[in-house]
Every structure is written in C-alpha cells, then in structure tokens.
Copies of this chain bind each other. A is one copy, B any other.
Amino acid sequence: MKCDQLRTELKKRNQRMTAQRDIVLKSFIEAETDHLSADEAYRKVMEKNCRISKATVYRTVELLAGLGLLRRIVFRDGIIRYELVKKGEHHHHHVVCNRCGSVVEFPLDNLDDLEELVREKTGYTIEDHQLKFYGLCPKCQSEKKTQNNRDSETK
C-alpha cells in the first residue's frame, strides 16, 4: 500500500506520519487519472469533511513530491498539478485539450535513446523528460464545428 511507502520514506528522513498526510495522499489515490493542483486537492479533502488547513495541504503535496510519491505535472496554463507515481507503471505522456483543458494519458515507450542523444549534444545529464501534446478533444471538436455553422448562418 501507498501509505506504507509513505511511512517508510518519512522514517528514513526522521519525519512523521500524520493523519493529514494520509488523507492528502488518499485524495490523490482516489483522483485516479485526474491531475490535481494543491488547491484542488484541498477542496477535495474539504468535501470529505476532513478539516485540514490549506497551508498543510500545500506543504504536504510538495513533501509527497519530494518523497517521490507524487510527480509534478505542469501544462501550458502554468498551474502546478500532481499525479500519483505508480510503481512499475508504463511511461506515459499527456494529451491536453486547448479548449476545455481535459487531459488523457498516452502510453509510449521511454525515449531513453533520445535522452542519451541529448546528453551527448548538450552536456546535460538527463534525469527525466516530459512530452505533452496539445489539441482538441473529440467533444470540443464537434462543439466547435456546430458553433462555426451557427456563425456562418448569422452572416
């Protein structure tokens, strides 16, 4: 279980397991493929009538990211979101709708050979990479189409 992993990682650093940390972590487990910002995580926690302060949630998500339990994901809107790091998960990338902001994951082999090429060419040692695709989701494609039709009728 994730909570055990959290407990272990905390112990390594002489940090403590608390009810709040457990609750925040669980909110990401429940969010599944949703990518929550610190603020969204806070709201989710509040909905379950768990009273945690906003400051604690903000502190906790960064803690969890530092421990390797969450991964920071940032799209073009600049909002810092987090997703659960799953052990043994396939590498995946993100496809984002420019209109409604919906996100789907896209599994793809690691671009390891590319990382090696980048290291050779730039001298940077590469720890990881993120690939994002931006476009229109199926729903927004059809909505846009009907809207365009309306527009041309009006003219």
Interface residues of A (CB under 8 A from B): 72, 74-80, 95, 97-98, 104, 106, 108, 111, 114-115, 118-119, 121-138, 141
**Who on chain B is nearest to A127 by CB?**
B135
In the bound complex, do residue A135 and residue B125 qualify as a contact, i.e. CB atoms below 8 Å apart? yes
Q: How far is the CA of A101 from the CA of B106 in the complex (A)?
A: 27
- Contacts A74-B78, A78-B80, A79-B78 given: A122-B134 contact, CB under 8 Å? no
Q: How near does chain B come to A67, taking the closest CB pair, in angstroms?
A: 16
Interchain residue pairs A-B with the least CB separation, the first 3: A126-B135, A123-B138, A78-B80
Of the A-B pairs whose beta carbons lie under 8 Å apart in the complex, a sample of 23, sorted by A's number, is A76-B80, A78-B78, A78-B80, A95-B118, A95-B124, A95-B126, A97-B124, A104-B124, A106-B121, A124-B136, A124-B137, A125-B141, A126-B133, A126-B134, A127-B134, A127-B136, A128-B133, A128-B135, A129-B131, A129-B133, A130-B134, A131-B131, A131-B132
